Amino acid sequence: MAPLTVGIDLGTTYSVVAAYRNAKIQILPNSQSSRKSTTASCVSYGEKELLVGEPAKKKLVSNHGNVVYDMKRLIGRSYCDPTVEKSKKFWNFKLEPNDDENPVVRVEYLGNQLTVRPEDVSAAVLEKMIEVAEKALGKKPTKAVITVPAYFNQAQKQATLDAAKKAGLEVPELITEPAAAAYAFTFDKNRLSGNYDLLVYDFGG
């Protein structure tokens, strides 16, 4: 039996996992609700447990400074990147450079101080998406096509691949978010015959 492959939109704020079933692309419901398909791209490092998704998002106040999010703005960038400098004033977690001048987040987890990389946080979110897919499909996916912004450079793409590897996923391909939207539109509308133009406007977050 061929390995199960899913599609994951690893978003800045929310993430979504999809699978090709019954001749169409289906967005899979997350573990919090049978009707909700999005999972918050948020990880809470707590005194007793690691939370991902909506449970982590709910800890933003009570676990102040140990809830990490927006990793898509950090992954594959240097600490002194202008985008990082501009964004970090809005975050309530502590960001610092490591020995390679890459951004890491200092958190307190299970009573210990540690630093986590953006790849580590993204890996935790990807693991949650695997869990969502396994629950919906009855089988654990081992491969995933993952979306990345069209502006991602090679370092950002490689960091995303590193996060997927840490989550135990093989990635046959990274595709840009506008391309993913175009593919999904084509499959869902069954427009596989004839010539036509398709315009995708990437409105962003």
Residues taking part in catalysis? 9, 72, 177, 202
Return d(Cα 40, Cα 10) in angstroms, integer: 10
Tell me the pairing of strands 24-27 and 112-116: unpaired
CB-based contacts of 69, cutoff 8 Å, min separation 6: 13, 40, 41, 42, 43, 57, 91
Do residues 105 and 68 make contact, with C-beta atoms less than 8 angstroms apart? Answer: yes
Compute the Cα dihedral for 203, 91, 50, 121 and give only its sign: positive
> Residue 105's CB: how many other CB atoms inside 10 A?
24
Q: Which two tokens stand for residue 46?
A: 């707590």
Q: Which two tokens stand for residue 70?
A: 């927006």
